[in-house]
Structure 1
């Protein structure tokens, strides 16, 4: 398995991976929604505000994680949000997702990023160092449908203390349907 940073030229492959994975695991509607989200993130977000990492096997993308800039109105903490993430159905259960996320987190840390948040399954993301957080610690940019899925981690391993202020995500994620 090869883990690498991919560029915006891979947007069609990224959309296809997310569309197929979420269609197979959830539903056609979910596949279209997450596939379109992935494509929109890659298509409309400045490359400086993204880190896209992929896992490939025999030159075929089997996993992808998109990290995008996450900002605070009253603080200069360097932060990103992990969303979305996908591993092709045939490659699931082999640790590809965990290794891919760790590759992305290590890359962000090397680039001076201090905090990463995500919104997802606490049981899965705990395997790569995420812990549940509250909106008293880090306010979500929109209303959380499932507050127990609000997760974060400091990349230096320190405890996450409250960070004051409103937050913002990139435009593609800034829609209530994703929260």
Structure 2
């Protein structure tokens, strides 16, 4: 059972906090996976932030006072026909000493609500179905929603419709932002 999250406020950009956001990802992934993974994820987040607004990235952060508690980045997945607005959740981090308190779920729910308001039709991620399932993500086959690259763990390819309808079948290929366009990440 998840504890009640602390009082949070949310922000929706990197403005002035890019270094803190990158450090959060590095620290969280170092604690969970070791220093090499921490450095790799920090470098990925730095590369994503450097893409700038033109890339369509949507960072969301959760704060308690002036403490950064969590961050998630959504980026566009583009289908060949540009027929759907699809956003990919990746990566995500919650401060190691704050995990299990509902912060990640609150942050994702906030982000999904904003994306829905802004016209996103589909949210997808490549992660733990048990965790992300708490916020509405469910497994989806690559025949229904193609991944940008072959998946090493297909069970982790999960999505949800934000348009109030069933997920449509998407024709591939799907293209992601350059920092995520590395087969080793998939």
On whether the aligned pair clears a TM of 0.5, the verdict is yes
Is structure 2 residue 164 aligned with structure 1 residue 152? no
Question: Does the residue aligned with 1:64 lie in a helix, a strand or coil?
Answer: strand
Q: CA deviation at 1:46?
A: 3.1
Gaps of 5+ in 2: 1-7
More helix by share: 1
Pairwise CA RMSD of aligned residues? 1.3
TM-score by length of 1: 0.95
- Secondary structure of the residue that 1:94 maps to in structure 2? coil
Alignment counterpart, residue 113 of structure 2, candidates 83, 106, 110:
106
For residue 129 of structure 2, the aligned residue among 94, 117, 122 is: 122
Q: Is the 8 A contact 2:55 2:177 kept in 1?
A: no
Secondary structure (helix, strand or coil) at the match of 1:153 reads strand
Pairwise CA distance, 1:75: 4.0
Please report how far the alpha carbon of residue 8 of structure 1 lies from its aligned counterpart in structure 2 after TM superposition. 4.3
- Structure-2 separation of matches of 1:47 and 1:99: 27
Residue number in structure 2 paired with 1:77: 84
Distance across 2 between alignment mates of 1:12 and 1:47: 20
CA distance in structure 2 between the partners assigned to 1:75 and 1:48 by the alignment: 15
Question: Would the aligned equivalents of 1:8 and 1:42 in 2 still touch at CA under 8 Å?
Answer: no
d(CA) in 2 for partners of 1:161, 1:114: 10
1:36 equivalent to 2:37? Answer no
Counterpart CA distance in 2 for 1:158 and 1:126 is 18
Question: Unpaired segments of 5 or more residues in structure 1?
Answer: none
How far off its partner does 1:38 sit?
Answer: 1.1
Aligned equivalents of 1:8, 1:176: Cα separation in 2: 30
Aligned residues: 179
CA shift, 1:156, in A, is 2.5
Distance 1:38 1:120 in 2: 17
Runs of 4+ aligned structure 1 residues displaced above 6 Å come to none
1:165 shift after superposition: 2.4
Give the C-alpha shift of residue 33 in structure 1: 1.1
Match in the other structure for 2:169: 162
Q: How many Å separate the matches in 2 of 1:165 and 1:70?
A: 10
Cα deviation for residue 13 of structure 1 reads 1.0
The structure 2 residue matched to 1:2, chosen from 9, 27, 33, is 9
Name whichever of 1-10 and 36-45 sits farther off: 1-10
Which of 43, 65, 75 in structure 2 is aligned with 1:68?
75
TM-score by length of 2: 0.92
Could you tell me whether the CA contact under 8 Å between 2:74 and 2:90 is conserved in 1? yes
